[in-house]
Amino acid sequence: MYQALYRQWRPQTFAELVGQEHVARTLQNALEQERLAHAYLFCGPRGTGKTSVAKILARAINCETDPAREPCNQCAACLGIQAGRVMDVLEIDAASNRGIDDIRELREKVRYAPVEVRYKVAIIDEVHMLSQEAFNALLKTLEDPPSRVLFVLATTEPHKLPATIVSRCQRLDFHLIGIAEIADRLRSVVKLANRTISEDAVYLIAEEADGGMRDALSLVEQVLAYCPGDVAQEDVLAVLGAVGRDIFHMLTEALLRRDLSAALFLLDDVVARGKDLHHFTQQAVRYYRDLMVVLACGKEAERMGIGPDWLQPLSKQAKALGMATIGGILAELHGLLAEVRWASRPRLLWELTIFRLFISGGGVAQIAPEPDGMTTQSSSLAKSRPEHVVAAPGKDQPLPALTRMWPRVMDLLKKESVKTHALLLSGDVALRDANTLEVRYEAQIHCEMMDSPENRRPLQAVLKEVFGVELGICCVKVANVTGAFAVEKDPEEIFSSAVEIFHGQVIG
Ligand SMILES: [Zn+2]
């Protein structure tokens, strides 16, 4: 019963066409005023309805119910065309019939007046695939079109067509269909099939279809065939080989908590369940894209395809991360996407990416308050550690973020002010509390210099850039400063130590 869902639910009238109202209106007006062009060029991504519209148009101009803004789909002409029985409606797939002989044959066929219906309609799909000679032959026909012949050329890549062909056609651009519109259509299709589907399952399919209605319908068809009862998110995930959004939500939570082990275990689980990491990466990109959309558009994000159930959780995470961090994550994932498909060890690439995100960016904006008594503890620690940045003992929370990010702070500061950079080299830094960076010097004069606006301002600007929050600066005189700067590691070095940790090699 579900085998032919796509064909069954393919739009049969202009009114049923989803997301291409501008195309429908143009063609219906032309039909009504009997001012159809001799040739139309339908451009647009796959699955957006180009061939469906060509067939609706073929029926509408031949429908026996006259005048027809819509085909009646009842008369002999409509039914004949629908069933593919009418020889006057020709369909060519240029992907497999791209030679000059194919077009010559077509020219031969359109030379004679139609016999069964009023108009001959020649539909050439994937027309950009034609050979140069075939284009030339087609051009001759378009320049001197036989009467009562309508050409519909369809293509996903209009830029590959010769300008001479394009100039002979009226061009109509088909748009990608919005997630919300696809979701609507899916709901009604499932309802008509007397089945039920959960909202997250609907959004998952709509998202996966990436703006193409045909893909969406064929996916829902597979899912309905796969599971006999009500369709839940798990069924869709099983058919797609995908993971649920909650994985990315948890991954982001781990990033915000700076809980590296949780992040690695999440990945381990995905791999253990045999999920394809290329697809997983695509989903990750989509998730962080959505975070950015939510942050930029607020409640309006629903119009950008964010499911209503997800608005609030996404918004919370997006605010915690901040635009710059989300942008950084997206850049990382984008690079990963290019590599992961062909990598012999995609898991390792993912682990390295997670590692880099933890080192370089994700979650730094969320600097939690320091535990009580931290300052004194870290002062004593400062003596035993050969590091410029005084790290907090025990728990993973905010100071490691400072430790990790300090090289970047110093890097940026060097560009901002060489003087301030040099001054910081002779002191130690630590977080006094969530809002204050403490700089420690042995000499009072250094404290005073650091306290001056000309040094304070560049440092604060850089701290804001790196951590996403305003930090106060407080200078104190101490008996002993380590100032060893072991923390100022080369990024290469950090990367290779990451590789060592994972006992692996860098791929690609
Ligand atoms: Zn009809």
82-99 tens-digit pLDDT: 999 999 999 999 999 999
pLDDT band of 6, cuts 50, 70, 90 = low
Residue 494 or 413, more confident: 413
- 345 & 415 share domain: no
Establish if 497 belongs to a structural domain: no
Please write the tens of the pLDDT for every residue from 134-179: 999 999 999 988 889 999 999 999 999 999 999 999 999 999 888 8
Q: How far is the CA of 80 from the centre of ligand 1 (A)?
A: 9
> Which tops the pLDDT comparison, 405 or 252?
252
Q: What is the pLDDT of residues 333-350, one digit of tens each?
A: 998 998 888 888 999 999
Nearest CA to 190 out of 215, 220, 214 is that of 220
Same domain, 282 and 398: no
Residue 188 phi, psi (nearest 5) = -70, -35
Domain boundary among 173, 200, 229: 173
Same domain, 137 and 207: no
> What spacing in Å lies between the alpha carbon of 41 and ligand 1's midpoint?
24
Confidence of residue 128 (pLDDT cuts 50, 70, 90): very high
Would you call 72 exposed, middle or buried from its count of C-beta atoms within 10 A (0-12, 13-18, 19+)? middle
Whether residue 382 is predicted with pLDDT greater than 70 in this model: the reply is no
43 alpha carbon to ligand 1 midpoint, in Å?
26
Residue 475 above 80 pLDDT?
yes
Is residue 369 a part of any domain in this protein? Answer: no
User: How far is the centre of ligand 1, averaged over its atoms, from the C-alpha of 68 (Å)?
Assistant: 8
**For residue 61, how far is its CA from the centre of ligand 1 (angstroms)?**
9
Residue 255 maps to a domain: yes
- Same structural domain, 303 and 226: no
Q: Does position 108 have pLDDT exceeding 80, yes or no? A: yes
Whether 365 is in a domain gets the answer no
- The mean of the pLDDT values for the chain is 82
Does 367 reside within a domain?
no
Cα 62 to middle of ligand 1, angstroms: 7
Q: What is the mean pLDDT of residues 261-284?
A: 92
| One domain for residues 166 and 200 | no
**Cα(107) to centroid(ligand 1), Å:** 27
Give the pLDDT confidence score for residue 388 in this predicted structure: 45
The pLDDT, as a whole number, for residue 26 is: 96
Looking at residue 178, its pLDDT comes to 87
Q: Are residues 138 and 253 in the same domain?
A: no
Choosing from 192, 207, 240, the residue where a domain stops is 240
Angle between helices 245-257 and 260-272 (to 10 degrees): 160
Q: Same domain for 339 and 201? A: no
Q: Which pLDDT belongs to residue 401?
A: 64
For residue 412, pLDDT over 70 is answered with yes
Residues 236 and 255 in one domain: no
For the stretch 39-73, pLDDT in tens is 999 999 988 999 999 999 999 999 998 767 899 99
Instruction: For residue 50, report the distance from its CA to the centre of ligand 1, in Å.
Output: 20
Which class for 23: exposed (0-12), middle (13-18), buried (19 or more C-beta within 10 A)?
buried
Judgement on whether residues 379 and 485 belong to the same structural domain of the protein = yes
- Please give the Cα distance from 154 to 160 (Å, whole number): 12
| 429 vs 73, residue with greater confidence | 73
Cα 29 to middle of ligand 1, angstroms: 18
Please, are residues 430 and 373 in contact by the beta-carbon 8 Å criterion? no
> DSSP code of 475?
E
Q: How far is the CA of 151 from the centre of ligand 1 (A)?
A: 20
Per DSSP, what are the bridge partners of residue 105? Answer: none
Q: What is the pLDDT of residue 67?
A: 64
In a domain, 2, yes or no: no
Q: Is residue 148 part of a domain?
A: yes
Residue span of the structural domain in which 234 resides: 179-240
Q: How far is the CA of 15 from the centre of ligand 1 (A)?
A: 15
Q: What is the dihedral of CA 463, 468, 474, 477, to 10 degrees?
A: -50
Ligand 1 center from residue 191 Cα (angstroms): 27
Dist. CA 76 → ligand 1 center (Å): 7
Q: What is the mean pLDDT of residues 387-412?
A: 58
Q: Look at 400 and 76; give whichever has higher pLDDT.
A: 76
Which of 273, 272, 289 lies closest to 281 in space, CA to CA?
289
Indicate the pLDDT class of residue 1, thresholds 50, 70 and 90. very low
Q: How far is the CA of 71 from the centre of ligand 1 (A)?
A: 5
Q: Domain containing 394 — which CATH number?
A: 3.30.300.180
Contact 250, 326 (CB under 8 A): no
Asked if 148 and 36 sit in the same domain, the reply is yes
State the distance from the centre of ligand 1 to the C-alpha of 86, rounded, in angstroms.
Answer: 13
Q: Please give the average per-residue pLDDT across 385-389, as a whole number.
A: 39
Question: Measured in angstroms, how far is the CA atom of residue 74 from the centroid of ligand 1?
Answer: 5
216: CA distance to ligand 1 center in Å?
A: 28
Identify whether 251 is part of a domain: yes
Indicate whether 146 and 48 sit together in one domain.
yes
> What CATH code is carried by the domain that includes residue 227?
1.10.8.60
In this structure, the answer to whether residues 278 and 198 fall within a common structural domain is: no
Domain final residue, candidates 209, 224, 240:
240
The interaxial angle of helices 346-360 and 323-340, nearest 10 deg, is 160
CB 290 within 8 A of CB 302: no
The amino acid that residue 288 corresponds to is Y
Q: Look at residue 440 and give its three-state secondary structure.
A: strand
CATH code of residue 86 = 3.40.50.300
Mean pLDDT value across residues 285-305: 90
Q: What is the pLDDT of residue 470?
A: 76
- Split into its structural domains, the chain has a count of 4
Cα 235 to chain centroid, rounded: 22
